[in-house]
């Protein structure tokens, strides 16, 4: 993998997220790994630092991992892994070894988890965590549409430590 600086990264993150989807991955204190598919999140600048963010509902198994971990990774897979992403977005790591079922191969370096099948891995260190609140939604239609059971996402803002890409920059 090649490392690119945030300002050199040329991806269209709108199509990356909305069309291709990503994996949000973390390892817990015992070194167990879990991952889930996500299509909501973003990249930008906060507090003078390059950041990425993702949102995780409390019922996800990944939530406990994200809580324990200091770092999360956001991974965009190479073309041809749509079924793997669909599986990781449907099955829970509570019930099966979905990483194996999805045909994915984790690459672990200390507390950072990437995948052999990755096109891009963004390594983020958690710097802000907060739960979405009902009174924060000015457009109330979002609540009815996305939170009928009030399972508001937890927001994880991470400082981008590394962007690794399989394609030569
Ligand atoms: C395209 C897609 C996008 C998703 N985006 C999110 C997301 O941003 N946040 C979230 O909490 N769940 C999201 N999910 C749902 C989780 O991926 C799904 O519930 C998964 O099975 C959770 O696995 P886990 O229990 O092992 O954590 C998404 C699912 C799909 C298919």
How does pLDDT run across 68-103, given as a tens digit for each residue?
999 999 999 999 999 999 999 999 999 999 999 999
Mean pLDDT, residues 99-120 taken together: 96
pLDDT, position 169? 80
Question: Beta strand pairing status for 22-27 and 33-38?
Answer: antiparallel
pLDDT, position 20? 97
User: How many C-beta atoms lie closer than 10 Å to residue 55's C-beta?
Assistant: 16
How does pLDDT run across 3-30, given as a tens digit for each residue?
999 999 999 999 999 999 999 999 999 9
How does pLDDT run across 25-46, given as a tens digit for each residue?
999 999 999 999 999 999 999 9
Q: What gap in Å lies between CA 169 and CA 166, rounded to an integer?
A: 9
State the pTM of this model: 0.98
Question: Distance from the CA of 45 to the center of ligand 1, in angstroms?
Answer: 25
Question: Distance from the CA of 102 to the center of ligand 1, in angstroms?
Answer: 14
In ligand 1, the atom with minimum distance to the C-alpha of 54 is 8
Q: Which of 116, 97, 120, 113 is nearest to 105 (CA)?
A: 116
Question: Distance from the CA of 109 to the center of ligand 1, in angstroms?
Answer: 24
Q: What gap in Å lies between CA 59 and CA 64, rounded to an integer?
A: 9
Mean pLDDT, residues 105-124 taken together: 96
By the 8 A CB rule, do 6 and 51 touch? no
pLDDT at 168 over 90: no
């Amino acid at each position: 993998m090649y490392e690119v600086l945030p300002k050199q990264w040329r991806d269209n993150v709108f199509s990356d997220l909305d069309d291709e989807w990503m994996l949000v991955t973390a390892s817990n204190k015992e070194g167990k790994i879990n991952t889930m598919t996500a299509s909501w999140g973003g990249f930008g600048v906060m507090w003078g630092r390059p950041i990425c963010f993702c949102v995780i509902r409390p019922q996800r198994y990944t939530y406990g991992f994200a809580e324990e971990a200091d770092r999360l990774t956001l991974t965009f897979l190479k073309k041809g892994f749509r079924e793997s992403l669909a599986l990781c977005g449907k099955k829970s790591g509570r019930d099966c070894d979905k990483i194996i079922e999805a045909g994915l191969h984790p690459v672990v370096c200390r507390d950072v988890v990437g995948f052999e099948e990755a096109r891009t891995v963004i390594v983020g260190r958690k710097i802000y965590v907060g739960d979405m609140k009902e009174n924060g939604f000015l457009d109330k239609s979002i609540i009815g549409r996305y939170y009928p059971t009030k399972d508001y996402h937890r927001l994880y803002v991470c400082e981008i430590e590394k962007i690794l890409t399989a394609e030569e920059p």
